[in-house]
Amino acid sequence: MNGEDDTFRCRGGLSSPPCYAAEIAPEYFDPLAVDPGQARDVARWRKAERERLRAERQALSVTERQAVGAALMVHLRRVLDERFDGGRGRVFSAYWPIKGEPDLRPLMTELHRRGVVVALPIVETRAAPLVFRRWTPETKMVRGDWNIPVPPPDAPMETPAIALAPLVGWSADGYRLGYGGGYFDRTLAALRPRPFVIGVGFETARLRTIFPQPHDIALDLVLTEAGVRSDPEGTGSGRVSGPSASGAGPR
């Protein structure tokens, strides 16, 4: 083997296509993951891509990250205004930025003042769907899982109609590379009705494919600082039947 082949991707004898994920055509892949060896290779490849993309993100300057966040907020305002009447009367799930993620907290405050119910996702039970609790600018945050600030346990529970999904990586067909815990896909599979999900991340985090597995759920929209980058259904307006603020709560 040469130096490139003798990496984590190709150890252990003959390798399945994801070992060469950067070189092969995406269609040469088993999307049902019936080959356990291939599934293992996908997991190893995703782990390496997460590490690479997170390192690239952390290497950006504060000014560069701020510029990305500002551009994303412009695009998000436009999407919310054009498709969802600004989000008024709906529950909007945002996120608290960690590890170099775009900081959209100014938009959270703005939406709250517009009459949007803003919620944040919380890991309250390991390996279970996320819980969403209401956030306001006056909320006294506490430390949650992974030391992330979250609303306190007595904050009202909400069910989002529109949800943001921070992206480590993304593909043009609307799939998300997350942190690997599976919480977001597990949550989307459990929520009824399912919220309209907008992935937000860096333009440089685009991947040719994430090699979707059966548990992966495509996003409704992907936004980067460059604008709308993936809109699989074309209009993005078909699944906003989630609860209004007055009817929000666990389902």
User: Which residue in this structure is represented by tokens 């998000």?
Assistant: 76
Please report, for residues 10, 97, 125, 133, the alpha-carbon distance to residue 122 in angstroms, rounded to integers and kept in the order given: 37, 13, 9, 7
Q: Are 244 and 117 in contact (CB under 8 A)?
A: no
pLDDT string in tens for the chain (251-residue length) = 444 333 333 333 333 333 333 333 333 344 444 567 778 899 999 999 999 999 999 999 999 999 999 999 999 999 999 999 999 999 999 999 998 999 999 999 999 999 999 999 999 888 789 999 999 999 999 998 878 899 999 999 999 999 999 999 999 999 999 998 888 888 988 899 999 999 999 999 999 999 998 888 999 999 999 999 988 766 443 333 333 333 333 22
